[in-house]
Structure 1
C-alpha cells in the first residue's frame, strides 16, 4: 500500500512547506508539492486559514461508512475539482477490532486514523467526527437517536453543514428496510433533516450568533439503489433499472483511470478499503481489473432542488445542476423545488403541487410547466417574474391521476423552468393510492419512521419498507389491521384477508363505516398457523416470507396490499424435577422433553445432509428461578481460540449465542438478554468465555449476569475434533424484565469458524431470518411453567464513554485549519493561542492563552502518534504547561524532535460549557 505511483516526486521538502505554513505566503510555498504526500498533521498545518467550502458532504455513522463512495468522490475531485468532506457521527469505538485489543476511545482514535488514511486516497481532507457514542449493532434507529442525544446531534450536523456549505449531501439509506443498521438509518435520517433544516432560519438560530449563516444544499443522494444496474466500461449509457419506477439513480464508473495515481479508481477503491484494517478489511481480495466487469457506484436521489440531467449522461451526472453547471442550462445555483401537497394521488382527485424557483443570480422572467404521467391532467403553465439574486417565486399546480392509474405504482411529476433561453427540470415523487387501503399495523419503530417521513414530506422513503408480522408455529395471534382513507370524502366498505394454505384468519372480512377523509381506523382479526408441518424460519422455498393479501373496498373502488408473514418456531419447556448440575454432562433426568434443533442455516454455506459441518441440539428446562440449557454442538474444525482478555463479540469464531426476550414484546435488543459464550479461551481446554452482547447490559458475565454459570466438555479429540457439549444456567434475575410464561422470545445461534482470522464463516440457528439478530419479534417462542409477575422492565446499561474530538490530535489539527468547530459543537467566543513552545531534555514547555475558564489539552503529535500530552484546568489568560515527550532512541526519523522530515506539531484544544476551540503550531513556534 506504499505504492510510489501514488506519491510522485516533489521539489519541496515537508519541512520547508511547514516552515512556510507559519507565515502568510503559503500558497506559493505549496506550488510543486503533492498535497497527498503530506501526513494529516502536515496537511492541517499547511492548509490556508478560513472556513472550508465543500462541494460534497457525506454523512454516515461510523468510520468506513463512506467507503463505497470513494472511487466516485476521488474521480470527482481529480477531474472536476470537487472538494468533499465526511461527517461521521461516531468514531466506531463500539465495533470490532481485528488487529488488537483496543476498545472504547482508543479504538475510536485508531478508526479515525484509518478513516483519514482511506479517504485521503480520494483527496478528502476534512472529516468531522461528532463524538456520538458507538455502542453495538442494532437495527433500531430510535435507540440510536436516544443514545446519541437526538436533537443535539442534529444541531451539530446542521452547524457543520452551515459552516462547510456543501452543494450535494450524500448519505446512507434512511429507510427502515430489512437489515438496515439502525445507526446507519439514523445517521441518514439526520442527513435528511439537516438538508431541510440548514436553510431554515427558524432552525437552530443560535448558529447565527456564532458567525454562521443559513445554507440550502441543492441535492440529497443516498448510496446504492434498489434494482439492477450493469457493470463495465460504457455501462452508464444503459442506465440503472430501479425497483421503484419513480427513483432517479445516478452512476459513476469505478474503472475510470486516475492520471494522478497512475491506476484505475477501482484500484484506488481497493486501497481505501484496505486502510480499514481494524474492521478486517485489510484481507479483502482486490477487485476485478477486467474493464467489462468493473462496477459502477450508484446513487439514488432522495431530493433535488437543483435541475437534474439524464442519469445516463456521464460519471459527473449526479453533480450537474447542483455542484457543476449544466451546459447550456440555467445558472448554477438556480433552484426548482417541487413539493406535492401529499404523496398519495387518488385517481380522479386533484392534488396541489407547489414549485418554488429561487434565483442564484439575476434571473430573467420565464415560464414554469409541470409534467405528469400520460393520462394524468395538470393545470397549465405559469409565468415566473424576473428575480433578483436570492429571490424566490412559488407557483401551485393541480395534478390529477388518471381514472385507470394502477394503484400502488410510483410516479414522477417534473417541473421545468424556461428562462432567458435556458431551461432546467426538477421532480418530485408520488404514489397512486386507492381511495381506502388497509394493511397490518406496523411494528412501533416502523410506525415511528412513517410518522417521520410524513412530517417531513418525504413519504416516498416508505415505499420499500416491508409490512411484516410473525405468527408462532401452531399458535394464534391477534392481528390489527389499519384502514386509511386517502380520498377527500367519507368512506365505508369492508376489508378481507387472504391467507396461504396452512394458515387461517378469523373472521375472513370485517366492515368499516363513516371513515372520514384522511383518517384511519383499526379492525381486529386473529391469524393462526393450522398446519404445524410447515417448516419454520427461512427453511421453506419462499425463505419464510409468506404472502398475505389485504383487500379493501370503498365507494370509489377497491385496493389491494400485500404483507409478509413469518412463521417462527415454538417449544413448550418442561419444568425440571431436580435442578441440573452445571457440569457439562446431561444427566438422565435433568432435561425432560425433546431438544430443539439448531441447524437451520442463517448465514454461510448450505450444511444439510446426513453429516452437516455444524449443527446443534439444545435441551431446555427451568425451575422457579433459573433457565437451564444443554447444548450438544457438532463441529468438524476448531476456529481460532482467543485470549481470555478478548472476551467480546462472539461471532468472530466458534461460539454460542442465547437470546431471551422475557415478555416477547421487545422492540430492539436493548430490551433483551443475549448471552455469548466461547467454548474455550487461551487453549482448547481453557475456561469458556462468558459475556453479553448487543443487549440490555453488554459485557463480561461476571459483571453483567451475576449467577450465570457455564460448563463445557470438549468432545474426544484423540483422533479428530468433533465439537463440544455446553451447559448453561441463566438466573431469571439477570433478565431485563419479568417473564411472560406464555410468550418468551427465544433463540439459539451457533457461530462456526474454520479459520484462524477471527471471522465466522457459517451461522445456524433455531429461528433464522435476515436481520434476525436485531429483530426480537422474529425469534422463536417458548412457554414456561412459572408465574407471571407482570412487566417490570430494566433500563438498558449502555457504554458511557465515546471518543471525543477535543482529545483527538487529528481532529484538533484539522479544526484549527478549516475553522469548523470540534465535534460540530458551538465554537468558543474567543480564540485559543499557543504563545510559545520549546523542548529541552525531553520536556516540552507550552505557553497557552485561553479564552476563559475551562479545560485545555495539549498534544505533541508526530503525524501518527502522540509523543506526549497534558490536560489542565485553566482560567482566562496565560497558562504555562510542561510535560514529558517520548523521542526515538536514534534521534532520527519520524518523530525526531531535533529536525526530521516530519516535524512534530503541537495540537491544543479548549472546552468550556459554552464552546470549544482548537489551535496548532510547530514545536518551537506559536499559533
Structure 2
C-alpha cells in the first residue's frame, strides 16, 4: 500500500492507464522528457491485464497478470521509468462501457488514485482518452478517474486519510486518433482537437537520442516488442520514417481547466448521455463535444423459419437456409484479397433454436488453440445477439466465439464478453474444412438469450489469422462500424420472417 512507504518516490510526470501496455505509445515522449529535461515519470496501472489474451503461452488469470507486470517493467525501462504502481482492480472481458467497468472496479479505485498522486507529487499527470466511442471501457474509466483524482488530490477535504493535499499543474490526455502533420514541425503545429477544441501538445518521435544512438520512435518500438503476451513481438523490429508526433490534449494547465467552446448534441443514446453528464459534473463539458458519432443505418435482414431443422455439418445445404446470404465486410486490421479472407453468413429459426451458418474463404490457417477461449487470436467466428434490441453494452446480450478447429482437432464454442462468459454446454457447433476455407454451423437455443428475442439485433464477425503466433491480421463483420463486436448500437436488425 502506498501509505505504508517510509519515503514515497517523487516523480515529475505520472501516467495513469488501465492495463500493462497502455503507456507504450507515449514512451517516446516520456523518454525524451527524461533525457532532455531531466523529468522522471511513474506509471499507475489500474489492473494487471489478467483478463486479456496470451500470445506467448498458456498462462491466464493471475499467472498472466504476473507475466504482464514483468513485460510492463521491461518495456518502460526503455524510457528510463522505474516506478510502476498497480491498483489491482479486476481486468475482465472487453467492454466499451465505463459505467460497467466502474461497477467491477468499485468506488475505492478513486481513493487509491488520489493517494498515488499525493504520494508521488507529480507536476504533470498524463492519462488516456475518456471519450466513449470505439474505445475500451477500462481506458475510458482510467482517464475519468485520473481527471477526478487530479482535482481531488488538491482538496484537503477529499480522502484526508491518504496524505497531504497536492496540486499538480498540468493534465494531458492521449489523443491516438489525431492525424496531424509528420516531421519535426508537428511539435510546433499549434493544433486543436477537431472534436473537443482543446489545444494539442505534440512531441516528435523522430528525435534522436544521443545516449541510445537512434530515434525515440525506434526506442518505443523496442519497448512495444517487450509485450510478448499481446503479440507485439511480431511487430517489425525496425521502424522507418517519416515520423509523426505523440499527441496529447491539454485539459488542465496551471492547475486550471483549459476551456473550449461547448458543442451540444441532440438525440444522444444512453451511453453518450451518461458521458455528457459526467463531463458536465467535472466542469469539463467540452470533453463531450461530438462524442456520439453519426452512426450509419445498420444492415437488416429477415429470419426465415425453416420447415425442418438444418443438419449440423458446417455446410448450408439446399433448403436449409431460405434467407439471403449476409456478406461480411472489412472491419479492422489488414485489408486482404477476397481469395484470402471473405465470408458470408446465413440465419434460420426452427422451433426454439436459432441456426447460424458462416462460410469463410481463408487461404492460410492460423494457430490451433488448446482451449476454447479468446478466439480473436486466430481463425474464428463470433456471433453477437441483442434480443431486446436496446442494449447499451454487451452485459445484456449473448455473445459466442466459435473456433473451427482446436489443438484437439474439432471445433468448439464458448460465450465471450457477456454476463455468462465461459462454456456454452447447450450450444451445438459443427465445422467443415474445405479447399480454400471452412464453414461453421451453430445451433443456439433461444432460451439461452438473456431475454426473449422481441426486437433482435445481431452481428456476425470473422477473425482471420495467417500465422502461428496467436495474433490476428484481419477482421470482418456484417455491420463493420466502430467497435463492431462490442457496440450493440452498431448491430444489424433481424426481422421475423
Do both share a fold (TM > 0.5)? yes
> How do residues 699-848 of structure 1 correspond to structure 2 at under 5 angstroms?
699=422, 701=423, 705-715=424-434, 721-740=435-454, 743-784=455-496
Q: Is the 8 A contact 2:178 2:247 kept in 1?
A: no
Taking a change above 3 Å as real, the CA distance of residues 245 and 631 of structure 1, as seen in their structure-2 partners, is closer
Residues 1:174 and 2:125 are matched in the alignment: no
Q: Is the 8 A contact 2:302 2:323 kept in 1?
A: no
Residues 1:221 and 2:159 are matched in the alignment: no
CA deviations on 1:645-690 (whole Å, 9 max, x unpaired) are: 3x2221222111111111111111121111111111127xx21021
Q: 1:234: Cα distance to partner? A: 5.1
Q: 1:143: Cα distance to partner? A: 1.0
CA deviations on 1:128-167 (whole Å, 9 max, x unpaired) are: 1111111122111111111111x21111111111111111
Rounded Cα–Cα distance in structure 1 between residues aligned with 2:108 and 2:10: 23
1:429 to 260, 283, 287: 260
Rounded Cα–Cα distance in structure 2 between residues aligned with 1:449 and 1:749: 28
Q: 1:227: Cα distance to partner? A: 4.5
1:162 to 105, 118, 133: 118
Q: Is the 8 A contact 2:29 2:205 kept in 1?
A: yes
Q: 1:289: Cα distance to partner? A: 5.1
- Structure 1 stretches lacking a partner, 5+ long: 1-47, 307-336, 339-426, 468-563, 716-720, 786-927
Residue 573 of structure 1 is matched in structure 2 by 303
Residue 649 of structure 1 is matched in structure 2 by 374
Residues 1:267 and 2:218 are matched in the alignment: yes
Residue 674 of structure 1 is matched in structure 2 by 399
Q: 1:602: Cα distance to partner? A: 1.7
Residue 661 of structure 1 is matched in structure 2 by 386
Q: Is the 8 A contact 1:227 1:241 kept in 2?
A: no
Rounded Cα–Cα distance in structure 1 between residues aligned with 2:316 and 2:206: 59
Rounded Cα–Cα distance in structure 1 between residues aligned with 2:351 and 2:467: 41
Rounded Cα–Cα distance in structure 2 between residues aligned with 1:238 and 1:775: 34
Please report the TM-score for the alignment, with normalisation by the length of structure 2: 0.93
2:161 to 196, 206, 209: 206
CA deviations on 1:747-766 (whole Å, 9 max, x unpaired) are: 11122222323222222222
Residue 793 of structure 1 is matched in structure 2 by none
Q: 1:589: Cα distance to partner? A: 4.1
Taking a change above 3 Å as real, the CA distance of residues 175 and 565 of structure 1, as seen in their structure-2 partners, is closer
CA deviations on 1:20-55 (whole Å, 9 max, x unpaired) are: xxxxxxxxxxxxxxxxxxxxxxxxxxxx96111121
1:301 to 229, 245, 250: 250
Greater Rg, structure 1 or structure 2? 1
Residue 500 of structure 1 is matched in structure 2 by none
SS in 2 for 1:173: coil
SS in 2 for 1:750: strand
Q: 1:586: Cα distance to partner? A: 4.1
CA deviations on 1:810-869 (whole Å, 9 max, x unpaired) are: xxxxxxxxxxxxxxxxxxxxxxxxxxxxxxxxxxxxxxxxxxxxxxxxxxxxxxxxxxxx
Q: 1:256: Cα distance to partner? A: 2.9
Rounded Cα–Cα distance in structure 1 between residues aligned with 2:465 and 2:179: 32
Taking a change above 3 Å as real, the CA distance of residues 618 and 270 of structure 1, as seen in their structure-2 partners, is closer
Residue 42 of structure 2 is matched in structure 1 by 85
Name the one with the larger helix percent.
Answer: 2
SS in 2 for 1:776: coil
Rounded Cα–Cα distance in structure 1 between residues aligned with 2:144 and 2:254: 18
Taking a change above 3 Å as real, the CA distance of residues 570 and 296 of structure 1, as seen in their structure-2 partners, is closer
SS in 1 for 2:259: strand
Rounded Cα–Cα distance in structure 2 between residues aligned with 1:238 and 1:657: 43
Q: Is the 8 A contact 2:459 2:491 kept in 1?
A: yes
1:595 to 324, 335, 339: 324
Rounded Cα–Cα distance in structure 2 between residues aligned with 1:584 and 1:94: 31
Rounded Cα–Cα distance in structure 2 between residues aligned with 1:193 and 1:295: 30
Give the superposed CA RMSD. Answer: 2.3
Rounded Cα–Cα distance in structure 2 between residues aligned with 1:228 and 1:707: 47
Q: Is the 8 A contact 2:196 2:289 kept in 1?
A: no
Residue 498 of structure 1 is matched in structure 2 by none
Q: 1:601: Cα distance to partner? A: 1.9
Residues 1:690 and 2:413 are matched in the alignment: yes
Q: 1:231: Cα distance to partner? A: 2.6
Q: 1:225: Cα distance to partner? A: 6.2
Residues 1:619 and 2:333 are matched in the alignment: no
Name the one with the larger strand percent.
Answer: 1
Taking a change above 3 Å as real, the CA distance of residues 730 and 235 of structure 1, as seen in their structure-2 partners, is closer
1:189 to 136, 144, 157: 144
Q: Is the 8 A contact 2:196 2:288 kept in 1?
A: no
SS in 2 for 1:566: coil
Taking a change above 3 Å as real, the CA distance of residues 565 and 170 of structure 1, as seen in their structure-2 partners, is closer
CA deviations on 1:420-471 (whole Å, 9 max, x unpaired) are: xxxxxxx53234x7xxx7x54211111111111111110110113125xxxx
Q: Is the 8 A contact 1:227 1:240 kept in 2?
A: no
Rounded Cα–Cα distance in structure 2 between residues aligned with 1:235 and 1:667: 38
> How do residues 65-104 of structure 1 correspond to structure 2 at under 5 angstroms?
65-104=22-61
